[in-house]
Amino acid sequence: MTESSTTATAPSGMESRYGAPRRSVSKKSQRWMILGTLLLALAAMIYFTVGNSIGQITHNDVGYTITSDTEATVDFQVTKDLDATARCMIHVLDSSYAVVGAEIVTLGPQEGTGPEDRTQYYSTDVRTETRGVTGMVDSCW
């Protein structure tokens, strides 16, 4: 055996100390990893978007009428699933933003077939302790 053949198979000082150099990932493998990551990100985005919209209840104030010193009417719209039952807290406020009347309204399942039927308008009368100046939906659940 010659000296040149033994040095070719013997590990160099760096290899014996730190190990053999790592093999790099091929360009084809890199492309597949990037594509897989993008597909997973897209799937997560779709999952969270659809998951947050199903079962969500939203409300909007439409208007109010102060009918007397002891009563007000509040008009509002609620968007919910057709078969869901929701409850909404309605407040009537005075000029200093104090609650002078409150009512919890229960909204049962509604008829309809499409997404446009999820939004319905409601009106409710609220008794007040003193004359109110505004009416609003505080929250729905």
pLDDT attached to residue 115:
78
Q: Are residues 83 and 64 in the same domain?
A: yes
CA distance 73 to 67: 7
Q: Tell me the residue range of the domain where 48 lies.
A: 24-54
135 lies in some domain:
yes
133 lies in some domain:
yes
**What are residue 24's phi and psi, to 5 degrees?**
-80, 155
Q: Are residues 40 and 75 in the same domain?
A: no
Q: Are residues 98 and 126 in the same domain?
A: yes
104 lies in some domain:
yes
pLDDT-derived band of residue 117, with 50, 70 and 90 as boundaries? confident
Q: Does residue 79 have a pLDDT over 70?
A: yes
C-alpha triplet 112, 116, 117: angle, nearest 5°: 25
Looking at the chain, which runs of residues are DSSP E strands? 58-68, 71-79, 86-93, 99-107, 119-127, 134-140
Q: Are residues 124 and 65 in the same domain?
A: yes
131 lies in some domain:
yes
CA distance 141 to 124: 17
68 lies in some domain:
yes
Q: Are residues 36 and 83 in the same domain?
A: no
Q: Does residue 1 have a pLDDT over 70?
A: no
Q: Are residues 80 and 125 in the same domain?
A: yes
The arithmetic mean of pLDDT across residues 68-97, rounded, is 95
Would the pTM count as exceeding 0.85? no
Each residue of 21-43: pLDDT tens digit?
A: 778 888 999 999 999 999 999 99
Lowest mean pLDDT among 2-6, 7-11, 24-28, 45-49: 2-6
3 lies in some domain:
no
